[in-house]
Structure 1
């Protein structure tokens, strides 16, 4: 008998659940398994009948862009009883299901694991009552499960992110951006309440990405004098020229004695004790709604694919499949849930430092970074000797450059540096186009696209080095932070080589990575890559809608040069059948096979077919050539259009992740700069999430010829795309 897998979504909904369902269905079908959707969560298992139905390839077409969950979710009181669970077992066995993938929160996953433990007893009881046959009892003697965490709170220990969190953060930050613009018009204060009963992730990250002044989270209650401290922080910012004050409050925030700190409470403090014109915005369920972000689509697809491999493998223990460093990560479900629930216990027992640590190093790091930004001095008496640090951009534009520059300026001022903005990269530095940047000069930069300091790809050659060195000396620059892409790393190696000839270049110089291509060494995501990916995926969504009235194929070209990140991640998140990468190359044989698959798909009733092409996938098989070739071989069965997304991918408002990433890296860079200026070390280095690394390590990390890192973590998405793009009955898979 063919293996049958059940998939259900349970508990609260979360954006990205549909991408996970699609991945489960198509991965299972590619492995010759059958998939049954259990509608309305565990209620559907208890009710049985048509609530448990087979899901085919076409049943999950076009659902990745939808919020919520297309198979429904519900709270089920009956499932909390032994009788209700036994009924669910009977209905699952009736359908031949003994493998389950459950997408939900810790409550849903705990209930599923309890069912797994009870399963043999229920089977024995059902057999004794005659509800199932001996053959069914023998065939379905145990239940194999895998869990995927669908929770916008990001509250599961052991996974970097949970399905829905990034999308919820997008909703919150969009709202804060909108609130900030109206607040600035009237010089008002706003208190924004976000979800997070026991977890402050959304509140903390939204405060960082939204440029808020203050935040309250459950894991770290404020000090007893928080009224006065908050007033001090907000007044200092106002005195420095800020026209708004924004405070973010997690719904579960409380003081050290467990007394709730509500949004209304904070508003009253702002109004009564500070005289602020303060308003409250409670975002509520808008955080759960809307189109899933690109990350929630490709990440959910990746772990959905991994979950099927788990239940088809030797999984004697229930596993929850999450993500670590953008790769699937499985851990025992019982341990993950216990560790997650223990945080609420730690908070209740006032062991707040332990609660923070249990959230992980990144959470602690970002909380410290926010405190530093929030409490940073707006001006510092110039120390002796004065340390002058320049910020410049080198390389292509990357959304989030402004957020990084703002953080660098404010943290640098707090360190006592004089911060200098170089206009237009190295040409601007050589020409002396440099101005001091004060705390108030970068107000509002967090949410703006583009690069307010300008950027150039140009790096100095042999003949320009003297002018560069002279300008650095004349301007009295003691350190340089270069925010940029691959050319910034090239420049870094040049400065390392030439600093012996030009002593003024023997100063601390560090690159902070920013590139939509995501082709930079030593990190998972460069600043700008997430925004570019979201722009590309949103474009694909619109393209699909444009094709809804006709049989049409599209070839969409993304940026990326010789790096396939944008193309591959867009393909997985956007639901492409094929992705063409520079890393793989293109051949006429592969294209012929793809044409056969395309013709077969349209002949079988498919109405849309999507190929994503990296701009440098092939020098010969261009987007235009592929478009004409695909249409010619269709012989009128379908039409084909080519779309080159172009520089739209460099535009737009930076995503929450790109803003947060900029702050994280800026905090590390300013600390490093402070240390090197104190010791007088003229070191060239580059920033990574794991620390600042010396330039000499670049050769071990980079393929200079093709301008990409030797380790490309995103290639883990290739088998995911292959499984999700392989239509049953086709002999052609996406390789």
Structure 2
């Protein structure tokens, strides 16, 4: 039976426990044994009770915990040959020749070097009489897979590292709170975040919080930055801001390599602007706390893939880094990822900042451009008489992130020289002629607010409405239109395109942007609002789990989603559920009999909690209450069953950092796309597309992938994760 060792090394990161849980349970399902190597490589050096087996129940209840339950440490001794030899001896004595390591680039590099020298180290141990030749022959190679646990998101080869999203949650929550007091007193705050060599946290938290200015290691300001910063802050105040927020990465410096610290910025503001700025250094609070929904499910799917990689690897196989790309798991050569990561630091040290930014990836470079447009830039053209006008309208249900989306769209449009016109109240507001021009200051404060200040309604126009809509567009002289929303938005724009031959007013550039907690739209992997709703579901699961800690209880948690199973499936994975009921699969009596048997077996086997997550549209007949009654009846008093309907709180609250950043990217791309079409004299309809240049493709290419009857895409990437959920939710033998 193969044996897999799992260890966490270096700094801790929220989501590491989710990875340990996934690795353990996926390995057990694959017929392998798992050993936890406690306290990182220091545990491998110590051996003994620092290397312990992990069973199915040993990793129960750790999914929602921050840090790492198996411990982590940095080991200087492991860098020495003698230390590596002792670690190898302890591993082979336990029969471990497959390793999954969760750590930063230093830990991953060290593990790869151990793998390369494995044969020589074994030979030295045999020669010294510390192990037998038979034992060495039984373990001729070390198979390695790495997961990146780092809040800095500083590893090339994966879009996100474990812990980064959770750290962004901590930062944005802190900055949102600081903004409230700063606005009350018209003050300036300087917030220092982690990131010695990587400015990801600083950049993305600045975007998510609507900060006025930020300093990044990869993009240092040139000479005269002090005057430029003061001017940007002055411009923000004149546009209506009552507060000023600056975010600085701990490794920021100017082009001469002189560190730009919070204290230095404060001194500049005092000297040049007469501002007495307050300084907040967030420190290690960024590492702590409960992992976000994203860090839970992402670490989970990466952990399952890492098990597959080490079990399927052949002798001589190159160690791999398991990460994500566009929300899909992928594996890349570890040496390539580490080398590319080190190249970024080399570029910064050499002063080649353009290459450093480029090495971070096109997405990082784009977000820097977006941030500068939204926060720093002035309108680039003087508003001419009869300037072109772009309308912005919501359609469909509310989704957290609509306000940040409008803010970025308005400021991007103004920067490009357009008059930005809001349609208030969705399609009914369009019919009623409720229009309002929006200026730079009108969208101030919308970067981190929930709700939809422009208003929205679930309403798809009827044929009798089309003439009125056409008249309203003509009256307002709209040259282009951006429609933000979910299924109703796509249906509305689809109807306008089909009828544009009858109504010339519809023959203008129109772009539709996905915003829906259901995440039920084709073309874009995560609609604005979906991540916030998912986090709400997961927080609800965490709370019901705690409420059940004093008794033997099963819970059925009902999510929104209508005909789409994104929330129940992803909520089930991130919340550690035993069962997820999806609209795509429905519910039948035979399946319920199996589920009830598994439920009863769980409690009979010593469990005191059982969780099922159910989408609201999973079944017309087997509703949440019906399932509760069935489960309760079969429990025969040995446990109780409760239902929790999460409800409309999934649409409320402040948008998550992911949704704010997602909204920013989409809004900026949509307005720039409309601008390009107008300048080229082109007309047409487009929708967001992750695979298209500029992120927008012809509407028909996107809507052809829509299952209109069931209100969901024909292909859903998250459905590929059903096997992952199944492997982790039930012990072997419960299938």
Q: Give the CA deviation at 1:114.
A: 1.1
Q: Does 1:719 align with 2:720?
A: no
CA distance in 1, matches of 2:187, 2:79: 48
Q: Counterpart of 2:713? A: 709
Q: Give the CA deviation at 1:676.
A: 2.5
Contact 1:237/1:378, CA 8 A, preserved across alignment: no
CA distance in 2, matches of 1:157, 1:144: 21
User: Mean alpha-carbon deviation: is it higher for 295-304 or for 562-571?
Assistant: 562-571
RMSD: 1.3
Q: Does 1:223 align with 2:222?
A: yes
1:72-127 superposed Cα distances (whole Å, 9 cap, x missing partner): 00111221111111111111112111111100000001111111112112212222
1:10-64 superposed Cα distances (whole Å, 9 cap, x missing partner): 0000000000000001111111211110110011110111111011111111111
Q: Counterpart of 1:206? A: 205
Q: Counterpart of 1:422? A: 423
CA distance in 2, matches of 1:496, 1:384: 30
Q: Counterpart of 2:246? A: 247
CA distance in 1, matches of 2:128, 2:415: 74
**SS in structure 2 opposite 1:389?**
strand
Q: Give the CA deviation at 1:719.
A: 1.4
User: Mean alpha-carbon deviation: is it higher for 196-205 or for 225-234?
Assistant: 225-234
User: Mean alpha-carbon deviation: is it higher for 37-46 or for 73-82?
Assistant: 73-82
Q: Give the CA deviation at 1:561.
A: 1.2
CA distance in 2, matches of 1:336, 1:620: 51
Contact 2:379/2:417, CA 8 A, preserved across alignment: no
Contact 2:689/2:702, CA 8 A, preserved across alignment: no
CA distance in 1, matches of 2:331, 2:723: 18
CA distance in 2, matches of 1:699, 1:509: 14
CA distance in 1, matches of 2:124, 2:626: 64
Q: Counterpart of 2:533? A: 532
CA distance in 1, matches of 2:81, 2:630: 60
Q: Counterpart of 1:294? A: 293
Q: Counterpart of 1:82? A: 81
Contact 1:236/1:378, CA 8 A, preserved across alignment: no
Contact 1:492/1:685, CA 8 A, preserved across alignment: no
CA distance in 2, matches of 1:477, 1:333: 52
Q: Give the CA deviation at 1:475.
A: 2.2
Summarize the alignment of residues 99-114 of structure 1 with structure 2, pairs less than 5 Å apart.
Answer: 99-114=98-113
Q: Give the CA deviation at 1:216.
A: 0.8
**SS in structure 1 opposite 2:330?**
strand
Q: Counterpart of 1:686? A: 687
CA distance in 1, matches of 2:388, 2:670: 15
Q: Counterpart of 1:262? A: 261
Contact 1:8/1:101, CA 8 A, preserved across alignment: yes
CA distance in 2, matches of 1:138, 1:597: 42
Summarize the alignment of residues 156-171 of structure 1 with structure 2, pairs less than 5 Å apart.
Answer: 156-171=155-170
Q: Give the CA deviation at 1:731.
A: 3.5
**SS in structure 2 opposite 1:90?**
helix
TM-score computed with the length of structure 1 as normaliser: 0.98
Q: Counterpart of 1:502? A: 503
User: Mean alpha-carbon deviation: is it higher for 222-231 or for 371-380?
Assistant: 371-380
**SS in structure 2 opposite 1:337?**
helix
CA distance in 1, matches of 2:513, 2:264: 40
Q: Counterpart of 2:383? A: 382
1:521-556 superposed Cα distances (whole Å, 9 cap, x missing partner): 111110000000000000000010000011111111
Contact 1:376/1:411, CA 8 A, preserved across alignment: no
Q: Counterpart of 1:233? A: 232
The change in CA–CA distance for 1:66 and 1:160 in structure 2 (over 3 A counts) is: same
The change in CA–CA distance for 1:446 and 1:596 in structure 2 (over 3 A counts) is: same
Q: Give the CA deviation at 1:709.
A: 1.4
Q: Counterpart of 2:702? A: 698
Contact 2:391/2:478, CA 8 A, preserved across alignment: yes
CA distance in 2, matches of 1:695, 1:72: 50
User: Which stretches of structure 1, 4 residues or longer, exceed 6 Å deviation after superposition?
Assistant: none
Q: Counterpart of 1:95? A: 94
1:279-310 superposed Cα distances (whole Å, 9 cap, x missing partner): 11111101000110000000000000000001
CA distance in 2, matches of 1:414, 1:81: 56
User: Mean alpha-carbon deviation: is it higher for 296-305 or for 377-386?
Assistant: 377-386
Q: Give the CA deviation at 1:512.
A: 1.1
CA distance in 2, matches of 1:683, 1:134: 72
Q: Counterpart of 1:638? A: 639
Q: Counterpart of 2:555? A: 554
Q: Counterpart of 2:9? A: 10
Q: Give the CA deviation at 1:379.
A: 9.7
Summarize the alignment of residues 376-455 of structure 1 with structure 2, pairs less than 5 Å apart.
Answer: 376-377=377-378, 381-455=382-456
Summarize the alignment of residues 582-731 of structure 1 with structure 2, pairs less than 5 Å apart.
Answer: 582-689=583-690, 690=692, 691-728=695-732, 730-731=733-734
1:298-334 superposed Cα distances (whole Å, 9 cap, x missing partner): 0000000000001111251111101111111111111
Summarize the alignment of residues 41-60 of structure 1 with structure 2, pairs less than 5 Å apart.
Answer: 41-60=40-59
Contact 1:6/1:37, CA 8 A, preserved across alignment: yes
TM-score computed with the length of structure 2 as normaliser: 0.98
Contact 1:551/1:638, CA 8 A, preserved across alignment: yes
Q: Counterpart of 1:474? A: 475
